[in-house]
Chain A
């Protein structure tokens, strides 16, 4: 057992003397021979089981209608919208890491961006399925898109629900493009290292004929820069966009100008939590502790702490505003969040997202994979509870007391939600086997730059 890599005082957080060959071996080796096949099989098996559960739940749902869920009058939006917001929020961290940190040239992001981008892709897909499944008539989901039809009907552009469709579609396409374009040189390497004909063909297809010429590099750099600049505003636009789902309604507890920035902070926060969790998992599964170092984990911990505090500011402001505004119903809704039947969600969010998070002030907690994973997991749970707290309790306390109600998710709500991890996990575990999980060429570039070779 070799000792854990030390904290490298380099811009890329990787050992200064790491050679190109070592990087290539670490990144592309697993494509030929996976270092931990048993663990992977477990992961994939669990993923498949969850995916089956998802498919079964979705079938039941599509066959019978959303009445299978716990939604009711007045809680018209339950797990469908809740999990949509949660998954979509998670997606944002990937774009943040890959695009924003690329633009401001933080070389350490090269070890993390691929796994984060893949996470974004899958999280967005998990999220995007929800608004469709949540529809009363899901087979007509495309009516929210502007397309020419003989009735001359268009979407209603004032509706935040219509914005959702645009948000998801553009976000998904930019994420996919950014991922594919960003991985072209690595796919080329994988193609060149592949032994089987099929692998050569497939990686070749993904590499789009990359030969590493100067012209290729120049075009690549240009494209990546444009895509990154497109992606950054999307991070803010999309997560503000789904906050409008709530804020555009007159409902007390939703109708707040605070929500867009609050949701952006929450989104990136939850995303960093999953990135941290995945980074810890991936570096162990692929044995690439040399590429994703403890310094990376430390940085992720810091980012978590920072975005966590931004989210906490949101909590504070959200607590303060109803009293400052003095509207009786706003206060009623707030008190319901704090002390109503679903108060657990508020306090769980506070405990996880504010309480547990403070452990990250300690360097040892940030740098030890086990403890960081525990905090990240707590944050994911906390952020889910936060979405619950924001979405559900205001609906149970409507303007008219006669319309007040409650909400209890059904078994099908839970199976679909838990199953959605299968939708995430199955493709993700396949990526682990067949996609270079670290941007090897960028790491190499950074190493050269650091050493002053280039």
Chain B
């Protein structure tokens, strides 16, 4: 198959020829060559014949088959609601419980909203500093995982369902053997956890069976950083970063703003810094050197694309520029040295206000050197401090062993009992020296987890664990504070907590889940305990530990020729643990807007060499792995790098997540040498934003202003014959600060959770029918090889002169007195005139019946205050009108004046950057009115005279590249 390749020379030329601030979305539309035109055709939504309809049908079937579940559960008696102490449930009145969702062993503090005994929505816990009321997309989607009909529902033996009595019997037999062998042969593999209760239980277990061995299985864990800190400081220390103080942020192959267990607090800090900088308090510079485009890179003031193998050289140059006495010469290009010089100058100009971050996959000596540099820069106590490790895995001066060591033990035949606790090490295991084969010989294998996953399928026994929202445990947050995880609902299935399982192993007793956690915190008095449950945390963050002086490090400067591959966690399904969550699968990955698959990312130059275009099949050879995936050209990626994303290619994820993308085993190193070649396949990829260049004489949708003159040139609003829609009462409006938006997608998922937005599947996304009410538009700006990324969240504009309202023949979309553009689903007959007339294209149509056949458990998740839309009706952002009504009714009932600041939309609430402001624009004192008076304020497509109520604050740029000069 000889596919036409992209004419990159023409693209570069075209971009160079554009005047002013050239915005573009992707590659193909930039070139006027027939090949490029053919490509556009091939990539148009609607022309995706390779994705079959099976996927959507499968989603529906996944929903239909699970009819066995009684949806409404009882709220457990011991759980204590945080906000409203409700002795009995009042129908229609929601209770809020403070709890936490563990993710990679780090608590995401949340408030869970339950209605009629059903948890329906999670919000950040405003009382906890690591949330401050916000949370990320993964945490928003945790509620869906609770209701996932594919979660494991009963214990299994050799794949067949069995009873807990059988499990107890089997464990009792093993216990007898272990008691005689003092635990010899017992090997326990744990996922990342910071649960003090689990730590206590494992201590008990090890005291009883001292020969037992523990292993750590977490694909993207910070273990390497801990090991390094032990080397540097003599004890393992966990870093806490305070980006709000970091006027100069230097990131070496690190993505603090991207997905991850610490994303929420890091984004908060970053946004706080930018907010202050916008008010003239200090700088907000960021220097990012990275191999593949990330959110941090997109937000950077100075971004450098660099291969991971050049990172030691870069660190060396940075050390030298910062005054370190280093002998070696860095081998860097002029452009790279220039970046280092700029970063070092900025760091030196802001003593004590700088921070260098390094990725956890970077080599140990690079990490060590960065620790030293941070110390020299005076970062300690300012932008960075240290705490004792909160994650389990370090005991008595020793780290838990790795999976490689487990493989050795298995090969040596030393393993008689293997327990895989809350982890899935076999998800992307290599075929030949892999654990699967070695595990065959183990007499007793038990897997405990949320799903009957790949690891479970290779074990004799599988026991289902509770979800964080239906079981008791405890977990530490990013700052080290301890949170109690309390259930919002009785366990939905025949599941146990990990603590109950270990108790079952140790004593065969059917223990109470709460007791395990309570006895860990036995020193806490009952009333304090109740308070802790209500607050969501039981122990405040530990004070910082003074780190000793770090010694200089000899950097090992590897030679690197040829291509290298990096393996990253997927921004939407992480290492695959969220693969069965439709919300996250359908969440457009930041920058590429791809959904439902992972891709092999190549830079434009590399794609040119390999001769592939977007969607062409490529074969990537890594040491010990050969994988086939779809190529995706990522402008701004380093040319020597092949970007691979873990979390896909799963066979036992569940009906939603199976068989998507390719599988890749995470690697420990920063990169490995690799090769790539085209294999002639063609993949249909589903992405939400098509690929086009903005005509260069149109006003760009994202406005950028320079730091020294943050003002928008005032645009004349066309005069209108119509009177303004403003009437009595509050007038709702929204302002989104593009200077704070990182494009992290938390708002999109929050909107989906709040508003019962349907998941439609890859085929329909490829057809251009995704349903998100709030989308995040992404544009590139600048050259092909080093473009800037710009994000713009786009909800309904709630135009005062809304074209959609003119179009509707049946009055199904009308304007309310308080300035909302309302959608009356019951009245809609589906002419789609409104959507045709909408200049912002924010309306979403139910082309087919997306929601009717959802599983009963999925139906139980739905927000009862939001109508579930049927086939054939239009829907769109309502400004969370149910929340406005709830607040108004509440104020009426209490007989007080309506305080409009109590209304918070779902997107606004969850945004870790707090980039969204919402409120009454008729009230001159409201935050949203203040924002509208900001000189950076502008409206989208103002010249059309639609008078949108949603408006934007321009992005502030520190370096050239703004378009308002």
Residues of A within 8 A of B (CB): 64-68, 70-77, 131, 134-138, 140-141, 143-144, 153-156, 158-162, 164-165, 245, 248-251, 328-329, 331-332, 341, 395, 398-408
**Interface contact A76-B769, CB-CB below 8 Å:** no
Is B493's CB within 8 Å of the partner chain A?
Answer: no
Q: Are A160 and B807 in contact (CB under 8 A)?
A: yes
Q: List A contacts of B690 (CB < 8 A).
A: 404-406
Chain A residues contacting B843 (CB-CB under 8 Å) are 73
Residue of B41, B768, B872 ringed by the most chain A CB atoms within 10 A: B768
B45 neighbours in A (Cβ, 8 Å): 72, 405-406
Instruction: Give the residue of B692, B829, B847, B870 whose beta carbon is less than 8 angstroms from that of A404.
Output: B692
Stretch at the interface among B152-160, B357-365, B695-703: B695-703
Query: Do B694 and A137 touch (CB < 8 A)?
Result: no
A405, B768: Cβ atoms closer than 8 Å: yes
Tell me the nearest residue of chain A to B25, going by C-beta. Answer: A401
Q: Mind listing 5 A-B residue pairs with CB under 8 Å?
A: A143-B810, A144-B810, A161-B833, A400-B839, A401-B25
* Per-residue A-contact encoding for B658-699, CB less than 8 Å = 1, 0 else: 000000000000000000000000000000011011110110
Contact of B836 among A143, A251, A331 (CB under 8 A): A251
B58 part of interface (Cβ distance < 8 Å): no
| Residue among A67, A154, A405 facing the most chain B CB atoms (10 A cut-off) | A67
Given contacts A328-B695, A405-B46, A405-B768, contact A136 B808 (CB under 8 A): no
Q: CA–CA, A13 to B960, complex, Å?
A: 78
User: Is the CB–CB distance between B846 and A155 below 8 Å?
Assistant: no
Distance A341 CA – B32 CA, assembled complex (angstroms): 12
Q: Which residues of B contact A71 (CB under 8 A)?
A: 832, 847
B779 an interface residue at 8 Å Cβ cutoff?
yes
| Contact present for A328 and B830 (CB under 8 Å) | no
Q: A250-B944, A406-B768 are in contact. Are A401 and B846 (CB under 8 A)?
A: no
Are B832 and A136 within 8 A (Cβ)? Answer: yes
Contact of A399 among B767, B840, B849 (CB under 8 A): B840
12 extra A-B contacts, CB within 8 A, seeds A249-B837, A329-B698, A401-B694: A67-B764, A70-B767, A73-B770, A136-B831, A144-B810, A158-B806, A159-B809, A248-B837, A251-B837, A251-B839, A399-B839, A404-B690
Known: A72-B769, A136-B873. A249 touches B836 (CB 8 A): yes
Pick the contact of B840: A138, A158, A400 (CB < 8 A). Answer: A400
Separation in Å of the B770 CB from the closest CB of chain A?
A: 8
The answer to whether B47 and A400 touch across the interface, beta carbons within 8 angstroms, is no
Assess whether A73 is in contact with B809, with CB atoms less than 8 Å apart.
Answer: no
A341 contacts B806, C-beta separation under 8 Å: no
- Point out the residues of chain B lying under 8 angstroms from A248, CB to CB: 806-807, 837
The interface residues of chain A lying within 8 Å CB-to-CB of B836 are: 76-77, 249, 251, 395
Q: In the bound complex, what is the Cα–Cα distance between A398 and B803 (angstroms)?
A: 14
Are B698 and A249 touching (Cβ within 8 A)? no
Give the contacting residue for B809; candidates A155, A395, A407; CB below 8 A. A155
Q: Is the CB of A406 within 8 A of B44?
A: yes
With the chains together, A408 CA to B769 CA distance in Å? Answer: 13
Could you mark each residue 768-798 of chain B with 1 if its beta carbon is under 8 Å from any beta carbon of chain A, else 0?
Answer: 1110000101110000000000001010000
- Which B residues are in CB contact (< 8 Å) with A251? 836-837, 839
Tell me how far the C-beta of B694 lies from the nearest C-beta in chain A, rounded to whole angstroms.
5
Which residues of B sit under 8 angstroms from A406, Cβ to Cβ?
Answer: 40-41, 44-47, 690, 768
CB contact under 8 A between A77 and B832, given known A249-B807, A250-B803? yes
Q: Check: B827 CB closer than 8 A to any chain A CB.
A: yes
Contact of A165 (CB < 8 Å), options: B809, B846, B848: B809
Nearest Cβ on chain B to A246's Cβ, whole angstroms: 9
Within 8 Å CB of B698, what residues of A?
328-329, 332
- B810: chain A residues at CB < 8 Å are 143-144, 153, 155-156, 162
Given the known A-B contacts A65-B846, A137-B871, A405-B45, are A76 and B23 also in contact in the complex, defined by CB atoms under 8 Å?
A: no
A329–B695 contact, CB under 8 A? Answer: yes
Q: Inside 8 A of A402's CB, which chain B residues have their CB?
A: 25, 689, 701, 775, 777-779, 792, 794
Does any Cβ of A come within 8 Å of B941's Cβ?
A: yes
Residues of chain A contacted by B301 (CB below 8 angstroms) = none
Within the complex, what minimum Cβ distance (angstroms) separates B28 from chain A?
Answer: 11
- The 8 A CB mask of B864-905 against A (1 = contact, 0 = none) is 000000111110000000000000000000000000000000
In the bound assembly, the distance between CA atoms of A74 and B840 in angstroms comes to 10
A99 to B41, CA, bound (A): 46
Give the 4 A-B residue pairs with the shortest CB-CB distance, closest first. A136-B830, A406-B44, A136-B872, A67-B847
Candidates B44, B693, B768; contact of A341 at CB < 8 Å: B44
Complex Cα spacing A248 to B808, Å: 11
Q: Which residues of A contact B809 (CB under 8 A)?
A: 143-144, 155-156, 159, 161-162, 164-165
Selected from A64, A65, A159, A341, the residue in CB contact (under 8 A) with B40 is A341
- Any chain A CB within 8 A of the CB of B174? no
CB distance from B53 to the nearest CB of A (A): 11
User: Once the chains bind, are A401 and B841 in contact (CB under 8 Å)?
Assistant: no
Contacts of B44 in A (CB 8 A): 341, 405-408
| A405 to B47 Cα, complex, angstroms | 11
- Chain A residues with CB below 8 A from B489, complex form: none
DSSP class of A's interface residues: helix, strand, loop or mixed? loop
Q: Which of A65, A70, A77, A153 contacts B827 (CB 8 A)?
A: A153
When distances are taken between beta carbons in the complex, the residues of chain B under 8 Å from A332 are 695, 698
Report the separation of the CA atoms of residues A73 and B41 in the bound assembly, to the nearest whole angstrom.
16
Taking the complex as formed, is B844 at the interface, i.e. its CB lies under 8 A from any CB of chain A?
Answer: yes
A159 touches B847 (CB 8 A): no
What's the least CB distance linking B163 to chain A, in Å?
43
Complex-state Cα separation, A77 to B767, whole angstroms: 14
Question: Closest CB of chain B to A397's CB: distance in Å?
Answer: 8
Q: Is B342 an interface residue (CB 8 A)?
A: no
Contacts of A74 on B, CB cut-off 8 Å?
768, 835, 841
B514 within 8 A of A: no
Residues of A within 8 A of B874 (CB): 136
Which chain B positions have C-beta within 8 A of A401?
23, 25, 692-694, 701, 779
CA distance A250 to B809 in the complex (A): 17
- Beta-carbon contact of B46 and A70 below 8 Å: yes
Contact of B37 with A by CB under 8 A:
yes
Q: Is the CB of B23 within 8 A of A137?
A: no
> Could you say which residues of chain B place their CB within 8 Å of the CB of A329?
695, 698
- Give Cα A7 to B47, complex, Å: 53
What is the distance, in angstroms, from B584's C-beta to the closest C-beta of chain A? 21
B293 → A minimal CB distance (Å) = 18
- Contact: B828 with A136, CB < 8 Å? yes
State in angstroms the CA–CA spacing of A70 and B45 once bound together. Answer: 10
Interfacial chain A residues near B872, Cβ < 8 Å: 65-66, 135-138
Task: Knowing A249-B837, A401-B779, A402-B779 are in contact, say whether A73-B845 is a contact too (CB < 8 A).
Answer: yes
Select one of A72, A135, A405 contacting B829, CB under 8 A: A135
B694 partner residues in chain A, CB cutoff 8 A: 401
B contact residues around A131 at 8 Å (CB): 831
Cα of A390 to Cα of B836 in the assembled complex, Å = 14
A138 to B769, CA, bound (A): 20
User: In the bound complex, do residue A67 and residue B769 qualify as a contact, i.e. CB atoms below 8 Å apart?
Assistant: yes
**How far does the Cβ of B760 sit from chain A's closest Cβ, in whole Å?**
9
Instruction: Check: B816 CB closer than 8 A to any chain A CB.
Output: no
State whether A72 and B768 are in contact (beta carbons under 8 Å apart), knowing that A251-B839, A398-B841, A407-B46 are contacts in the complex. Answer: yes
Contact A67 B695 (CB under 8 A): no
Q: Is the pair A73, B768 in contact by a Cβ cutoff of 8 Å?
A: yes
Instruction: For the complex formed, measure the closest distance between the CB of B65 and the CB atoms of chain A, giving whole angstroms.
Output: 20
CA distance A158 to B807 in the complex (A): 7
Q: How far is the CB of A58 from chain B (nearest CB, A)?
A: 15
Is B811 interfacial (CB-CB < 8 Å)?
A: yes
Measured between alpha carbons, how far is A328 from B700 in the docked complex, in Å?
12
Residues on B with C-beta less than 8 A from A407 are: 44, 46
Which of A64, A70, A161, A328 gathers the greatest number of chain B CB atoms within 10 Å? A161
- Chain B nearest CB from A148 CB (Å) reads 15
Which listed residue, A141, A250, A404, A405, touches B837 by the CB 8 Å rule? A250
Contact of B811 among A73, A140, A155, A331 (CB under 8 A): A155
Among A64, A160, A399, residue most surrounded by chain B Cβ atoms (within 10 Å): A399
B701 contact set on A, CB distance < 8 A = 400-402
